[in-house]
Amino acid sequence: MTDDELAARLYPSMQPDTYDPSKHPAISAEVREIRNQPERQLYKARDQLGDVDAADFGDVSKLSDEKRAAVTNELREIFSDLGMGHEQIGELKNWSRNLKANPVPVERQRENANRMLRDKFGAENVDSALAGARKLLQRDPRTARLIESMGLGDDGDTVLMIATEARRQRAKGLLK
């Protein structure tokens, strides 16, 4: 018996459950590759973001328990794809609630986002920061739709968060 076979028998819960693309055919090869990385296998989105619930992001009351669980799991994966943890997800929810309660004109949000990007990355890097953020969101189009559905597509804090994460992922080779 090999070491791997012995380990599999002794620690069945430690077996990597590689991402099954047949369950999510619409996901790009790049996202599949990210989800199959050893780090993601070790720190699974369902475990790391266990308190994320689909009900926090939309009306799922008409879904069966099975579908609601699937939606919740996929939301956790999407947030993990973005490199977000509890703190960032909580911030997104707070920003969304605040913008819904106190709407800000889109032009003002965009001006604020540009100012924040200039402050963080320098005026000469705003365009590349925005391009990186767009690329990160376009990697899985559902991500952009989720951010838009929360009303955060032009929000300065959100744009800065996504641009910063895009830069981090590009440096790690996760964003091509």
pLDDT the model gives residue 171: 94
pLDDT in tens, 31-70: 888 888 898 888 888 888 988 888 888 888 888 888 888 8
Angle between helices 156-171 and 126-138 (to 10 degrees): 80
- C-beta of residue 72 within 8 angstroms of C-beta of residue 54: yes
Neighbours of 114 (CB within 10 A): 16
And the tokens for 92? 């997104």
**What confidence score (pLDDT) does residue 6 get?**
63
C-alpha torsion 148→150→152→157, nearest 10:
-140
Q: Encode the chain (176 residues) as per-residue pLDDT tens digits.
A: 676 666 566 665 554 544 454 565 578 888 888 888 898 888 888 888 988 888 888 888 888 888 888 889 999 999 999 999 999 999 999 999 999 999 999 999 999 999 999 999 999 999 999 999 999 999 988 899 999 999 999 999 999 999 999 999 999 988 88
**Dihedral class, residue 173 (left if φ above 0, else alpha if ψ from -120 to 50, else beta):** left
Which 3 state secondary structure label does DSSP give 38?
A: helix
pLDDT of residue 169: 93
